[in-house]
Structure 1
Amino acid sequence: MDNAHVNYGPVQTFRMFKQYVKGYKNVGASLQDFKNISGSVKKYIKEYDAQMLIENFMQKKAMSPSFYFDFDVDDQSRITKLFWADPISIKNYALFGDAISVDATYNFNQYKMVFVPFTGVDNHKGCVTFAAGLIRNKNAESFSWLFQNFVTAMGDCYPITIITYQCRGIKKVVKEITPEDFESKWNSIISSYELCDNKWLKKMFKHRALWIHAYIRDTYLGGILRTISRSESENSFFGNFTNQHVTLVEFWMRFQTKNGCSRDGNILRHILWVLKDMGFDHIPKEYLALRWSKSATSHPLSNVVGKSVLADFSLVEDNEEHSDALFQLLRNFNENLIISVKSGKSKDKKADIEMLLGSKIPTEVTVLPPKKCKNKGSGKRITSNKEKAVLENAKPLRKCRACGEMSNHDSRNCPSRLP
C-alpha cells in the first residue's frame, strides 16, 4: 500500500496501514514518522527536482524507445516547458484520437506550473489521456510548443477535431477563418438592433474563428462535444492524486498512479431497423468504427514513429500459454523482490526515499526547477473592499460583550475599546 501517490494525509495513511497490517504494533513506525516523510522527501529532492524528473524520463526512453518527451529551459537553465506521452497513450491515440479535448488547470504542483492534459474518449466512452504537459507561462508560444510536440509524438497524425476552451494563448495557435458572408450578415444584425456598443458581442466577434458551427451534424466529435465537462472531469480526477504542494518528481509519481487507475458504430439507431428490414443479420464492417468495438485495444497497430507501441501484455493476450508464462515470470519477480527488500531492510532514510521515488540524486545538474509561476487563475483572486463589505454585512449579527450592541464585531475588536 503506497499512499505517497495519492492525496491521503499522514494520519489517514497511518490508520489505513494499521488496518492493513492488523495492529499498530505491526506498523513499524510512529504517526510522527508518517508526518515527517513528506518533508524528508522534499528536503532530499531540493534543487535536483527537475533534473531527477528528466533523468527518469531518459531511463523510460532507454527502456521503451516509443516513450516520447521533450522539455525546454530558460537562460538560467530553469525548466519552462515539459511534454510527455508513453507508449500506451500513443497507442490509445492511434485508436481513439479522432477527437481530442485540451484544457489547462492549476495548483497541481508547488511551482504553480500550468498542467495541460490532452484528453479523448475510449471505446467505453470513458476519458483517456493521450499526452500531458507542464508550462510555466500560459501564452501562445507555450501552447504552440505543446501542440507541436503532441503532433510529433503522434507521428504527424492530426486529430479530426480539437475542442478547447476560450483562451488567449490557444486562440493564437488556432488558424483563423473568417467567412466574408458571415461578417456581412453579422454587421447587418448588429446595425439593425443597435448593438454596436455591446461589449460582450464585440468580444465574442473577435473570437469568431473559434466558434463552433451552428450545424455540426456532419462534424465528428467523438462524444466530447461538451469539452469543459470532459476535460474538467479528467482534471478533477487528477486532483484526487496531486495537490499544490508536490514537487515535479512527486507529481510524476502521482500522474503515473492516476493513469494506472484509469487504464459504436457511428450510424443512427433507426438505420438498424432499415438494415434488419432489408434482410441483414449483421452490420456491414464499413459502417462500424473500430474505436467503439469491444476489441478495439486488441488489434495490432504500427507506432506512428515506426516502432511497436503494443504494451507487453497486448503482445501475449491472444496466446494463453505465453500470457501464463509472462504472469508467472512477474509473480516470481515480485516474490524475489519482496524477499530482497525484507532481507536488505535498512535504517538509512536516504535509501528508503530513493526506493520510494525510484531515482537517485543526480551527479550533475543541468536542468533546474522553475521559480513559482504567476498565471491568471493559478492563485486566489484578491477580494475587493466592496466584496469584503458585502460579505461582512451578510454575516448574522451578534451581541458584543463590550458595548452590548448587536453588530458584526465582538469584544476583541469592538470600536469602543479602540484607543
Structure 2
Amino acid sequence: MEKSRKEELNIGARKTYRMCKELVKGFENIGASLNDFKNCQRDIKCFIHERDGQLFIDRFKCMVETEPGFYFDYDVDEDGSLRMAIWADGIARRNYATFGDTVSYDPTYSTNKYSMVFTPFTGVDNHQRSITFCCKIIAKENHESFKWVFERFLIPMGGKEPEYIITDQDPGIIKYFPLVFKTARHRFCMWHIMNNVTTKYGSTRNDYQNFLNKLNAIIWDDDLEADEFDGKWLEIMGQHEVADVDWFTECYSKRRQWVMAHCKDLKIGAIMRTTQRSESENSFFKMFEHKSGTLVEFLMRFESAMEQQKYNRRDLTTKTVIKP
C-alpha cells in the first residue's frame, strides 16, 4: 500500500503519458509524443531547481492571502537560502483547539535532496486517529531551530499550550522545551525509546528476546507501583549486564517522563504512544518522503497526503453521525 501510494504521488513522464491516453481515449488524441512529455518534465525540473526555495515560499504566501486562518512563517540564512519554515491551515488550528491537549512532536522525516527535516505536530482525534496540527521543515536540527519552532508553534494556536508534549530525547528539545513552554508537561515517546532498545542492546545477542520480553513486561504494566518498577528494572539491568550502559542509565534517570508506573497521574494518552498508532503515523508521513525531490515536489505530496487525512476524517465523522 505504501509503495503504491508513493508511486501515485510521484508518477514519471511515461506513466503520465499513458494516463493521458486513457483520459482522451487513445494516444492519437493526446496531441504530444512521449518525448514531449519527457522534455516538459525536464524543463519543469530545471525551472524548479533554480527557484525551488522561492517557489515554496511563494506558494505559502499565496495560501496566507487566499485561505482564511492559514499561518506561515519562515527564516533564511545569510545567503538567502531557506533554513526553516512552519505552517498550519485553518482546519488544523481548529482541530488543535478541540484535540490539542496532548501533542506529539516527531523530527524524524527527511524530505528532499537538501536533507531538510520535516516535523509534524500531531495529536489524536475523537476517532482515535492521528491528526496533524502544524508542520515545519528545518535545514539543520540544532538548539536554535528548536527554540524558533516551539515559539512559532504557539502563535497560530493562540498561545494555548497543550497539557502534554511527547517528543524523542533530542538534547536540543530537552534544553529549550522549558524555556518556551511554561505549563505543558514534557514526556518522552515510549515507542521511540523501545525502538532504540534493539540498537542499544544488540538484536544479535543470544538473550536479546529474553531481555526485551522482561523489559516490555515492566514498561507497559500500569499495575506496577513506582518502587516495584525500580526494583525490577535494576534487577533486569544487572542480570543482562547493562547496568553501566549510558543509554539505559539515562532512560532510567528520566523514567518519570515515560514509564507507566511513574506516570499514573497523567492521562494515558500522554505517555502511551502504542506501537500500532506510532507505526501508522510513521508510515503515513513517510508516504510522501522523497529524498531526491525538490521542495516543490515535497509540498505537492504533502498537500495530497493532507487531503487524504482530511477526507478520511470527514468520512469517519459522517459514518458515526447518529441518524434520526
Task: Identify the TM-score tier after normalising by the shorter chain.
Answer: 0.5 to 0.7
* Residue 32 of structure 2: aligned partner: 29
Q: Distance in 2 between matches of 1:210 and 1:173?
A: 16
When residues 198 and 61 of structure 1 are mapped into structure 2, their CA distance, relative to the original with a 3 A threshold, is: closer
Within-5 A mapping of 1:6-405: 6-64=9-67, 66-175=69-178, 197-205=244-252, 207-208=254-255, 210-222=257-269, 225-226=272-273, 229-263=276-310, 294=317
Shift of 1:111: 0.8
Flag the structure with higher helix content. Answer: 2
Shift of 1:84: 0.5
Describe the SS at the equivalent of 1:214.
helix
8 A contact 2:110–2:291 mirrored in 1: yes
Q: Distance in 2 between matches of 1:204 and 1:35?
A: 52
Aligned length: 260
8 A contact 1:119–1:231 mirrored in 2: no
8 A contact 1:163–1:227 mirrored in 2: no
Describe the SS at the equivalent of 1:152.
coil
Shift of 1:50: 1.5
When residues 19 and 226 of structure 1 are mapped into structure 2, their CA distance, relative to the original with a 3 A threshold, is: same
Shift of 1:157: 1.0
Q: Distance in 2 between matches of 1:234 and 1:294?
A: 19
When residues 230 and 136 of structure 1 are mapped into structure 2, their CA distance, relative to the original with a 3 A threshold, is: farther
- Deviation digits for residues 75-118 of structure 1 (CA, Å, limit 9, x no counterpart): 22222111000111111111211212121233421211000011
* Residue 369 of structure 1: aligned partner: none
Shift of 1:262: 1.3
When residues 149 and 209 of structure 1 are mapped into structure 2, their CA distance, relative to the original with a 3 A threshold, is: farther
8 A contact 1:66–1:86 mirrored in 2: yes
When residues 223 and 167 of structure 1 are mapped into structure 2, their CA distance, relative to the original with a 3 A threshold, is: closer
- Deviation digits for residues 258-306 of structure 1 (CA, Å, limit 9, x no counterpart): 111110xxxxxxxxxxxxxxxxxxxxxxxxxxxxx958xx9xxxxxxxx
Shift of 1:159: 1.4
Describe the SS at the equivalent of 2:154.
helix
When residues 166 and 30 of structure 1 are mapped into structure 2, their CA distance, relative to the original with a 3 A threshold, is: farther
Q: Distance in 2 between matches of 1:50 and 1:108?
A: 14
- Deviation digits for residues 300-359 of structure 1 (CA, Å, limit 9, x no counterpart): xxxxxxxxxxxxxxxxxxxxxxxxxxxxxxxxxxxxxxxxxxxxxxxxxxxxxxxxxxxx
Q: Distance in 2 between matches of 1:142 and 1:228?
A: 28
Measured on the aligned residues, the alpha-carbon RMSD in Å equals: 3.6
Q: Distance in 2 between matches of 1:215 and 1:205?
A: 11
Shift of 1:254: 2.0
8 A contact 2:109–2:286 mirrored in 1: no
TM-score, structure 2 normalization: 0.67
Describe the SS at the equivalent of 2:127.
coil
Q: Distance in 2 between matches of 1:4 and 1:39?
A: 18
Describe the SS at the equivalent of 1:153.
coil
Describe the SS at the equivalent of 1:129.
strand
Q: Distance in 2 between matches of 1:97 and 1:125?
A: 13
Shift of 1:190: 6.0
Percentage identity across aligned positions? 42
* Residue 208 of structure 2: aligned partner: none
8 A contact 1:18–1:26 mirrored in 2: yes
TM-score, structure 1 normalization: 0.53
The gaps in structure 2 that reach 5 residues or longer are 1-5, 179-184, 187-225, 311-315
The gaps in structure 1 that reach 5 residues or longer are 264-292, 299-419
- Deviation digits for residues 8-50 of structure 1 (CA, Å, limit 9, x no counterpart): 2333333333223322222333233333443322211233222
- Deviation digits for residues 199-249 of structure 1 (CA, Å, limit 9, x no counterpart): 443332454564344254552254983266545533422333341222222
